[in-house]
Amino acid sequence: MSRTITMEWVETTGKTIAEAKERALDQLGVHEEDAEFELLDEPKQGLFGRVRGEARVRARVRPTQARQKVDRRDRRREKGDRAEKAESTPKTDKVERTERASRPAATTSQRATGERQRAPRPPRSDSPAPKKNTNPSADGQSKEQLVDARQVGEEAQRFMNALVSAFGLAGTSELVEDGDDLEVRVHGAELGLLVGPRGTTLQAVQDLARVASQRRLGDHDTRLRVDVGGYRERRRGALGKFAVQMADEVKESGVARVLEPMSSADRKIIHDTLSTTEGIATRSEGDDPFRRVVIAPAND
């Protein structure tokens, strides 16, 4: 008999709702389709397009039972579909306000009894509209400008080239496009200084590259990764094999296995590798930096 797995809520903040959600997904180690969100605070729009305050959301892994073999939907396509629903909501609210204004005032008998008739409210969507980069023009008005994903990648590539040179290392870089994802790969010998133990330094370097490119240009949609010396590819392959081996042991013994603490990127590799494995369910437990993956029978 299957049992529903319920996860605890985590709270994250960001300059935008999308950034806050992305941080929550990093903590949970899952795709957006496997999580549910609640919007707690929104950033306020100030003068000349400036934003005050931060977005705050809370999220958790969506309670699931045994997973079936299904293809994961493209996260960016899902953002677009949900954004269309968000754009349609203001029109419905406007119609509701018009209908409310046209209704006659309550009669004396209704006031005496306290009875009111309310029009049904349309469903609301918490999904934000697609993010655009808004730059104030000379006359003080905001001008919308879409950010090109390749421009973000080239900016990150320039940052990595400058970083390698600043450390006195020898290396070359390339920008690789994989569908909706971008990856800056740095090749060369003796680049371990930029990787660090178990990739901890590389993770920090990737965060800096994102700040120097995505956040500076106002982009919040492009998925940007940085790899140095082929570390991530080797790590991805090793973790994939390890995940399959652990899943086989869980199938044979029927006992869940708790893995060692991992980064959000490594946890995601485990979840993705076993997402279509029959009879196996994965979940993340604990808080960073001790958050870990649990591989369990699907009916556990």
In tens, the pLDDT along 244-258 reads 999 999 999 999 999
- Model confidence over 116-149: pLDDT tens digits? 444 555 454 444 344 444 444 344 433 344 677 8
- Which of these, 51, 66, 54, lies nearest to 3 by C-alpha position? 66
Tell me the pLDDT of the chain averaged across its residues. Answer: 75
Q: Is residue 262 part of a domain?
A: yes
At residue 277 the predicted structure's pLDDT band, cuts being 50, 70 and 90, is: very high
268 and 288 part of one domain: yes
Share of the chain above pLDDT 70, in %: 67
86 and 138 part of one domain: yes
Query: Residue 215 belongs to what domain range?
Result: 149-229
How many alpha carbons fall within 13 Å on the CB side of residue 16? Answer: 17
The residues, any chain, with a CB within 8 Å of residue 56's CB and separated by 6 or more, are 11, 12, 13, 20, 39, 40, 41
Q: How many CB atoms are located within 10 Å of the residue 10 CB?
A: 19
250 and 290 part of one domain: yes
Report the alpha-carbon distance of residue 236 to residue 248 in Å, rounded.
Answer: 19
CATH number at residue 285: 3.30.1370.50
Residue 181: strand pairing partners? 178, 223
- Which of these, 253, 251, 256, 264, lies nearest to 292 by C-alpha position? 264
Residue 284 has pLDDT above 70, yes or no: yes
- What are residue 67's phi and psi, to 5 degrees? -80, 140
SS3 256: coil
Domain end, chosen from 180, 214, 229, is at: 229
At position 252, the amino acid (one-letter code) is E
Long-range contacts of 48-51 (CB under 8 A, 24+ apart): 48/136, 48/140, 48/142, 49/134, 49/135, 49/136, 49/142, 51/15, 51/16
253 and 287 part of one domain: yes
- Model confidence over 75-110: pLDDT tens digits? 555 555 555 555 544 444 444 454 554 454 444 444
How many domains are there within the chain?
Answer: 3
282 and 246 part of one domain: yes
Domain end, chosen from 210, 229, 248, is at: 229
Residue 182: strand pairing partners? 177, 224
192 and 252 part of one domain: no
91 and 60 part of one domain: no
Contact 157, 184 (CB under 8 A): yes
Helix residue ranges, H only, 254-298: 264-274
